[in-house]
Amino acid sequence: MRSTPNPSATAVAPVPGGPPPARVAGAARVRWRDDLVTVVLTAWLILGMFVDGWAHNTRPLLETFFTPWHALLYSGFAATAAWTGWLVWSRRRATGATWRASVPAGYGLGLAGVVLFLLSGLGDLAWHLAFGIEQDVAALLSPTHLGLFTGGFLIVTSPLRSAWADPGLGRRAGLGRLLPAVLSATMAGAGAAFFFMYLHPMFENVVSIEHARFLRDGTFPPDYVGRLAIEAGIPGFVLSTAFLFGPLLFLLRRWQLPVGAAAIVLGVQSVLMQALTGFEDAGLVLLGLVGAVAVELLLAALRPAPGARWRLRATCALAPVAFWGTYFGGIALHDGGLGWKAEIWGGALTWSGLTMLALAMVMLPPAVPAQAEAAAA
């Protein structure tokens, strides 16, 4: 395998207001298409996870460990692990470097993820044999399943770390050059959202007036059940905002987002979350895609970039409002109203925007004054 020549230490492009440039000592570089292959194989793994989630939600009585959807999940893992191992082995064969020096930049944590995923998979088999198959939310909180998530997260983010460490990827790189990084960030966000699916607004619509009518016709007191829907719904919007927009904010830390990146990140997660239900409410997917377009228009107007601190913060505050505003507006138009009062859905929009603004402030804090820094030293 050929790789771009690199010195013993490769400097990563600095980010305004961020930490000093990192240096990757002796790290091998892989080609763009190698990262793309990794993304495709990890997409296989993520697809298997979501198909398994769909099976848990729609066919719980058919669940055993040995299922077609588990086969899809673990075959995706096997293919990704084999490919990652081949990248290391081929580099070692071509250069004669040590095994450690042959690990491509960004793939070290991915290899750790492969080990963790394998151990968690074996532990999951033992767990199921000992305690049976988990149902509902318990399946998302099982220790072995959380181990699978952690390992999978490290694996799917390898192309993102690889692109981040590439000094040749300037801040204004186009979507084609950044595609492996964008898709890697997309799958990372979707994978995290998977484990909180029961709170995700794209999984279940709890704001509709029809949902409120259903609650009134139920066996529980309507005020009690309605309050529970709101108490779970508001945190759901806040958490889902982080899962949807966190990957975009991370990309913005390094690059100016190319046209189409937001549509991919937001659109894919919207489709996958509703797919977990077998598309019981497919209209939510349409609202997610329309909301993604609204965010793309906002990005085109504000043009956030790593060095444009105020434009970036304004984007983080307004983008969730644009996305979820489309969600609320579409449901209200379709159903003839919302089941939530104005102060409830208005508060959900406000907290979503504030959540991303806070994350932006943490990831891009104000610069430390030089005089104060010198005095502290």
Residue with structure tokens 């610069």?
367
pLDDT in tens, 272-283: 999 999 999 999
Q: Cα 207 to chain center, whole Å?
A: 24
Specify whether 235 is located in the same domain as 336: yes
Residue-level pLDDT at 136: 73
Question: Looking at the structure, do residues 97 and 191 belong to the same domain, yes or no?
Answer: no
Asked whether residue 218 falls in the same domain as residue 306, the answer is yes
Task: With a cut of 80, say whether residue 214 has pLDDT above it.
Answer: no
- Domain finish residue from 142, 167, 192: 167
R_g over Cα of the chain: 22
Residues 120, 147: contact at Cβ < 8 Å?
Answer: yes
Helix (H) or strand (E) segment spanning residue 11: strand 9-11
Distance separating alpha carbons of residues 154 and 19, to the nearest angstrom: 22
Would you place residue 373 in the very low, low, confident or very high pLDDT band (cuts 50, 70, 90)? low
Residues 186 and 121 reside in one and the same domain: no
Residue 314 banded pLDDT, cuts 50, 70, 90: very high
Please check whether residue 113 lies inside any domain of the structure. Answer: yes
Same domain, 32 and 58: yes
pLDDT in tens, 344-360: 999 999 999 999 999 99
Separation of alpha carbons 357 and 375, rounded Å: 30
Q: Which residues of 301-331 are buried (b: 16+ CB within 10 A; e: fewer)?
A: ebebbbebbeebbbbbbbbbbbbbbbbbebb
Query: At which of 143, 167, 191 does a domain end?
Result: 167
Residue type, 284: L
As a whole-number percent, the residues of the chain with pLDDT over 90 amount to: 61
The reply to whether 144 and 244 lie within a common domain is no
Burial class (CB in 10 A: 0-12, 13-18, 19+), 132: exposed
Q: Is 286 helix (H, G, I), strand (E, B) or coil?
A: helix
Answer yes or no: is 372 within a domain.
no
180 and 197 assigned to the same domain: yes
User: Mean pLDDT over all residues of the chain?
Assistant: 86
What are the start-end ranges of the H helices in the chain?
A: 32-58, 68-95, 108-131, 138-141, 143-156, 158-164, 175-194, 209-216, 222-252, 261-275, 283-302, 309-335, 342-363, 370-376
Q: Is residue 3 part of a domain?
A: no
Q: Where are the alpha helices (DSSP H) in 98-137?
A: 108-131
Contact residues for 174 (Cβ-Cβ < 8 A; gap 6+): 258
Q: Taking Cα atoms as reference points, which of 341, 278, 237, 209 lies closest to residue 60?
A: 278
Conformational region of residue 154, where left means phi above 0, alpha means psi within -120 to 50, and beta covers everything else:
alpha
Asked whether residue 307 is domain-assigned, the answer is yes
Number of domains into which the chain is organized: 2
| Predicted confidence (pLDDT) per residue in 67-108, tens digit | 888 899 999 999 999 999 999 999 888 888 888 889 999 999
39 within some domain: yes
Task: State which of 167, 201, 217 marks the end of a domain.
Answer: 167
State whether 214 and 323 are in the same domain.
yes
pLDDT value of residue 284: 96
Task: Tell me how far apart the alpha carbons of residues 232 and 23 are, in angstroms, rounded to a whole number.
Answer: 43
Q: Are residues 151 and 200 in the same domain?
A: no
In a domain, 360, yes or no: yes
Are 52 and 155 members of one domain?
yes
Q: Is residue 1 part of a domain?
A: no
Q: Name the pTM for this structure.
A: 0.85
Q: State whether 308 and 264 are in the same domain.
A: yes
Beta-bridged to residue 28, according to DSSP, are 104
Q: Is the pLDDT of residue 21 over 50?
A: no
Instruction: Measure the CA–CA gap between 65 and 62, rounded to whole angstroms.
Output: 10
Distance in angstroms (rounded) separating the CA atoms of residues 177 and 184: 13
Q: Report yes or no on 12 lying in a domain.
A: no
- Phi, psi angle pair for 305, to nearest 5°: -155, 160
Convert the pLDDT of each residue in 228-252 to its tens digit. 778 889 999 999 999 999 999 999 9
pLDDT band of 5, cuts 50, 70, 90: very low
Side-chain-side CA neighbours of 230 within 13 Å: the count stands at 19
Which two structure tokens, joined as six digits, stand for 172? 């204004």
Segments forming the whole domain that contains residue 213: 172-366
Q: Pick the residue with more confidence: 213 or 40?
A: 40
**CB-based contacts of 51, cutoff 8 Å, min separation 6:** 69, 72, 73
Q: 186 with 334, same domain? A: yes
